Amino acid sequence: MRKFLVCITCLLFLISQVVDAAPRRRKKAVKRMAPLEQVGFQMPSTITDTVKAVPAKGLYMNALDLLQGQSAGVNVSSDGINGNAVLNSVRVRGSSSILGANDPMVIIDGVISDITALSALYPSDIESFTILKNTSETAAYGSDGSAGVIQVKTRMNSGEGFRIAYEGHLAVSAPYGGLQMLSADEYRAVAADRGLYINDGGSSTNYYSALTRPSFVQNHYVALGGGSGPFGYRASVGYAQDNSVLKDKGNDNIVTKLDVNQTLLNDRINLDLGVVGSLSRNYGLNDPKKIFYSAACQNPTYDAEANFRNPNAVLIGAPLAMIAAKNDSRNMNIATHASFSYDILDCLALNAFGSYYFTSYETAFTDGGSASRSESKKDDLLCNVSLQYDKTWGDHNFSSHIRTEYHVERNSGFRTGVRSLANPLFGYDNLGAASSIPLGGTGSNYLEKKLLSFGIELDYLLMGRYKFALNARTDGSSLLGDAHKWGFFPSASFVWNVKKEDFLVDNQTVSSLNFKVGYGRSGNIGAINSYVNGNYAQPVGMVPVYGYPVLALGTTYNPNPDIGWERVSSVNIGAELGMWNSRFLLTIEYYYSRTDNMLYVYDVPVPPFTYDKMLANLGKMSNMGVDLGVAIAPVKTSDIDLVISANVSWQRNRLESLSGTWMGMELDADRISPIASVSGAGQVGGDNNVVYQIVGEPVGVFYLPHCEGLVQNEDGTWRYNIVDLDGDSSVDLGDYGDRQVAGQAIPKFTLGSSISFRWKSLYLIMQINGAFGHKVFNGTALAYSNMTSFPSYNVLRTAPGKNIADQRVSDYWLEKGDYANIEHLTLGYEFLLPKSAVQSLRISFCVKNLAQMTSYSGLTPVINSYVVNSTLGIDDKMCWPLFRTYSLGFSIRF
């Protein structure tokens, strides 16, 4: 009973081991306060073996892509640069907190990192992901792990002679589809038909075509490793270049990695040292929403190159001029770690671990008139020391860990901006070449966060089949007030390996069966990113003092000395079943979690408060869900393999309360508060809120006026027939007016599925991901169907026929967001070259973003459906061009 269930090793990438990794890792391997060595059910190797025989890899530009659709309850949205208005995010079982801290903890080879560092890793360097979802499993990570933990294991050297390998892809991305706006001729015809004046530029422009191009994508990767006896090493370097289908935009990433290990004293001492560094550059868009809004709605009779601006359409501009603005960034990560473990006695070991992670994010912006640069840096230093005691007496195995850990994070930033560049060609390369270096253009910041933890873990394993685990950890944070500095986070779990019971041990049908149940509590203070517990002064603005402008200082927030830990308590119960020699696998798990003392920026009354918002611990939220995974290998012969796997998760979230007592004062937040709204011409401010946060509902619900079809105006145009829901004989579109809950923005079900097929050396893999049960507000169609903005703003081809002269927000444009995407289809062939120096050689062909099945009428329902912010659930003019990528891959291993 060594490895406990959670190892959901991502099947697909295990397959193509560039340098064969049977890592020489000892059992007490380097781990950062990891839970005890996981015991029990090992993700069945049969299926893995089946797929492993087929080295198959699609085109992965980003390590996050590897995670997509691979594990139930894990939602990955990765936009790279070309995403469809999707935010880069990873959610493990949705959001347990409203504010920020919902990104799972990422641990790469024991080093605390983050999603950014993970996405910068070269996909081929990754051996496996292990995702810890239950609080009883993440408890050992304390507060940092409250939103789930993703453990990443990278490839290690084999220590068995010298190996070298190369792999690479060459690919082309090609845009397709797009919004069907009026063409120049149609635009002229509609205007003429309606007797409207248009400023006819004499051209015929499709701005989408003018902005996009087929683009070239490539990546290359070399890895080598070797060693002998107690010494081993592995090194790799990878480069990926992802040119965008948008002209002159794109990103690239170079990453290099080195790991060394050495054992001493007959393996009693183990030393590990590793470093990984990456540098990625991004050439991005400035104000993408405005660019795509302009590309859709700019007068199509203008010459695209002439960069006309239609003065009557103040919210849009010349698309090519706007895309020429530079919004570039550079991200550098360096992570290094060292670990030492010493087996003092057979039953007692000492582990020490230290890691350092540095990341720097630089931005540079210019639109020709103004320019700015910024840099933000994060230093992350962590060290821990632990003692492990492990003893077996007959049927009893007992082990315990005690440990202490210290974690310091330092954030600093610097930015400066200027305007009135003497010549736009200077861009951001010479900020001195500007006439004005205004106030607010320069600033810096510094913040230090410290976390100190003590933990103890007790495990007891009886007869190799009943495992009890207890875990207790206390965390203290410098961000909290003295009275609330320390949080206590216990957890307990029980696992029963049924297969080892007498009645099953000889059963040929059931190859594995486990039950598990757990409870755990964790804390989250990710929402706190400054010292709000005290009264600190910062610049408030320039004021005249004796006639001269002088900077004044003051407090700019409501201090909250009562701020403390947000607590998440959860229970989970699950089972895993393997049958027919693990050719059928089923995992199922139910969980319920409850967040108390939820950190949120609450609305507070002014007076008595000085400001109308305060970060405090008041509300409650709950999450409940079921994760289900199935894998079947119906055919398995020496020539043919077929494996079908799918994971489905269902989740229900509920915002229980936003009220509570603060320092003896009852605080009641507004029951209804808007999160996201549409914006654009004629939709500035006003009653344009769409997605709300409502107590008693899931976070992010559509709360909209109800429209019963269209009614005709006297002039022949149509308007939305908005219903007087509260029967007060007037239609009020305000937040408290005639609105009703009309669905949720976050999917209820998500699906990840893959089908792998091998025939001799030829293989085919298809990945399908989907999301269901949520809705998408088609704000794009609402705005682009409104004929009152024509001809200042171009409209959809269908708009003149519908003839709607209305742009009030209602459920008319609320649509089902269900979709299933064929993320990629890969066809590969492995050459068998026995007796040559070449160990393996293969080629593959892959299409990414092959097809999408949806009833959604807009461009795509794949928008931000996970991150709670001002874009949640709304398709609002951010219509990135859709594209497919066709790639040819090659890999060789010596």
Instruction: Show contacts with other proteins in window 729-768 (CB under 8 A).
Output: 732-737
Of 549, 634, 696, 801, the residue at the interface with other proteins (CB under 8 A) is: 549
136: number of Cβ within 10 Å: 27
Of 49, 79, 670, 724, the residue at the interface with other proteins (CB under 8 A) is: 670
> Minimum distance between the CB of residue 457 and other proteins, rounded to whole angstroms?
15
Strands, E assignment, 581-639: 584-603, 613-636
Give the residue with the Cβ less far from other proteins, 214 or 534. 534
Which segment (53-61, 327-335, 506-514, 801-809) binds other proteins by CB under 8 A? 801-809
Nearest to 776 by CA among 808, 740, 744: 744
Nearest to 449 by CA among 555, 524, 374, 378: 378
CA-to-CA dists, residue 54 to 376, 487, 596, angstroms = 43, 48, 48
Give the residue with the Cβ less far from other proteins, 591 or 720. 720
CB 100 within 8 A of CB 526: yes
Nearest to 106 by CA among 136, 147, 71: 147
Whose tokens are 């060290």? That residue is 383
Q: Is 202 in the site for other proteins (CB under 8 A)?
A: no
Of 174, 458, 571, 805, the residue at the interface with other proteins (CB under 8 A) is: 805
Name residues contacting other proteins, limited to 576-605 (CB under 8 A): 603-605
Which segment (210-218, 412-420, 571-579, 821-829) binds other proteins by CB under 8 A? 412-420
Name residues contacting other proteins, limited to 361-400 (CB under 8 A): 385, 387
CB 595 within 8 A of CB 96: yes
Q: How many residues bind other proteins (CB under 8 A)?
A: 95
> Minimum distance between the CB of residue 308 and other proteins, rounded to whole angstroms?
9
Of 173, 351, 372, 688, the residue at the interface with other proteins (CB under 8 A) is: 688
Q: Is 531 in the site for other proteins (CB under 8 A)?
A: yes
Give the residue with the Cβ less far from other proteins, 807 or 840. 807
Compute the chain's Rg from CA coordinates. Answer: 29
Give the residue with the Cβ less far from other proteins, 634 or 734. 734
CA-to-CA dists, residue 654 to 591, 620, 696, angstroms = 14, 9, 6
> Minimum distance between the CB of residue 735 and other proteins, rounded to whole angstroms?
6
> Minimum distance between the CB of residue 183 and other proteins, rounded to whole angstroms?
20
Q: Which residues, in sequence order, are CB contacts of 508 under 8 Å at separation 6+?
A: none
Give the residue with the Cβ less far from other proteins, 790 or 880. 790
Separation of alpha carbons 498 and 815, rounded Å: 46
> Minimum distance between the CB of residue 688 and other proteins, rounded to whole angstroms?
5
Q: Is 696 in the site for other proteins (CB under 8 A)?
A: no
Name residues contacting other proteins, limited to 27-86 (CB under 8 A): none
The tokens describing 364, both together, are 């540079």
Whose tokens are 């394993």? That residue is 461
Give the residue with the Cβ less far from other proteins, 537 or 640. 537
Which segment (424-432, 508-516, 546-554, 636-644) binds other proteins by CB under 8 A? 546-554
- Number of residues assigned to the chain: 894
Site string for other proteins, 445-464 (x = CB under 8 A): xxxx-x-x-x----------
CB 295 within 8 A of CB 321: no
Which segment (27-35, 185-193, 434-442, 701-709) binds other proteins by CB under 8 A? 434-442
Name residues contacting other proteins, limited to 852-871 (CB under 8 A): none
Would you state the torsion angle of the CA atoms of residues 436, 439, 442, 443, taken in this order, to the nearest 10 degrees? 180
Q: Is 536 in the site for other proteins (CB under 8 A)?
A: yes
> Minimum distance between the CB of residue 691 and other proteins, rounded to whole angstroms?
16
Give the residue with the Cβ less far from other proteins, 226 or 417. 417
Name residues contacting other proteins, limited to 114-133 (CB under 8 A): none
Separation of alpha carbons 516 and 27, rounded Å: 23
Separation of alpha carbons 98 and 653, rounded Å: 11
- Cα angle vertex 518, ends 70, 67, to 5°? 10
Q: Is 199 in the site for other proteins (CB under 8 A)?
A: yes
Write b or e for each residue in 167-196: b if 16 or more Cβ atoms lie within 10 A of its Cβ, otherwise e.
bbbebbbebeebbebbbbeebbebbeeeee
> Minimum distance between the CB of residue 862 and other proteins, rounded to whole angstroms?
28
> Minimum distance between the CB of residue 686 and other proteins, rounded to whole angstroms?
2
Name residues contacting other proteins, limited to 302-341 (CB under 8 A): 310-312, 314
Q: Is 716 in the site for other proteins (CB under 8 A)?
A: no
Separation of alpha carbons 136 and 520, rounded Å: 4
Of 361, 406, 718, 772, the residue at the interface with other proteins (CB under 8 A) is: 406
Give the residue with the Cβ less far from other proteins, 375 or 735. 735
Of 440, 634, 696, 801, the residue at the interface with other proteins (CB under 8 A) is: 440
> Minimum distance between the CB of residue 377 and other proteins, rounded to whole angstroms?
13
Q: Is 712 in the site for other proteins (CB under 8 A)?
A: no
CB 54 within 8 A of CB 763: yes
The whole-angstrom distance between residue 237's C-alpha and the CA centroid of its chain comes to 25
* Cross-strand partners of 666: 661
DSSP for 826-886 reads EEEEEE--TTSS--EEEEEEEEEEEEEEE---SS-S-S--SS-STTTTEE-S--PPEEEEE
Q: Dihedral sign for Cα 115, 117, 121, 125, please.
A: negative
Q: Is 543 in the site for other proteins (CB under 8 A)?
A: yes
Of 247, 289, 671, 797, the residue at the interface with other proteins (CB under 8 A) is: 671
Site string for other proteins, 772-791 (x = CB under 8 A): --------------x-xxx-
Give the residue with the Cβ less far from other proteins, 157 or 683. 683
How is residue 498 annotated by DSSP?
G
> Minimum distance between the CB of residue 840 and other proteins, rounded to whole angstroms?
47
Q: What phi and psi values does residue 227 have, to the nearest 5 degrees?
A: 125, 180
Q: What phi and psi values does residue 366 have, to the nearest 5 degrees?
A: -155, 140
Give the residue with the Cβ less far from other proteins, 420 or 869. 420
Site string for other proteins, 603-642 (x = CB under 8 A): xxxxxxxxxx------------------------------
Whose tokens are 């170079």? That residue is 254
Give the residue with the Cβ less far from other proteins, 793 or 856. 793
The tokens describing 320, both together, are 């090519």
Name residues contacting other proteins, limited to 78-107 (CB under 8 A): none
CB 566 within 8 A of CB 480: no
Q: Is 715 in the site for other proteins (CB under 8 A)?
A: yes
Q: Which residues, in sequence order, are CB contacts of 350 under 8 Å at separation 6+?
A: 341, 342, 344, 385, 386, 387, 388
> Minimum distance between the CB of residue 545 and other proteins, rounded to whole angstroms?
5
Q: Is 550 in the site for other proteins (CB under 8 A)?
A: yes
H or E stretch at 323: helix 319-323
- Cα angle vertex 356, ends 350, 361, to 5°? 160
Separation of alpha carbons 777 and 358, rounded Å: 40
Q: Is 432 in the site for other proteins (CB under 8 A)?
A: no
> Minimum distance between the CB of residue 401 and other proteins, rounded to whole angstroms?
12
* Cross-strand partners of 181: 796
Name residues contacting other proteins, limited to 475-504 (CB under 8 A): 476-478, 485
Give the residue with the Cβ less far from other proteins, 438 or 634. 438
> Minimum distance between the CB of residue 440 and other proteins, rounded to whole angstroms?
7
Q: Is 553 in the site for other proteins (CB under 8 A)?
A: yes
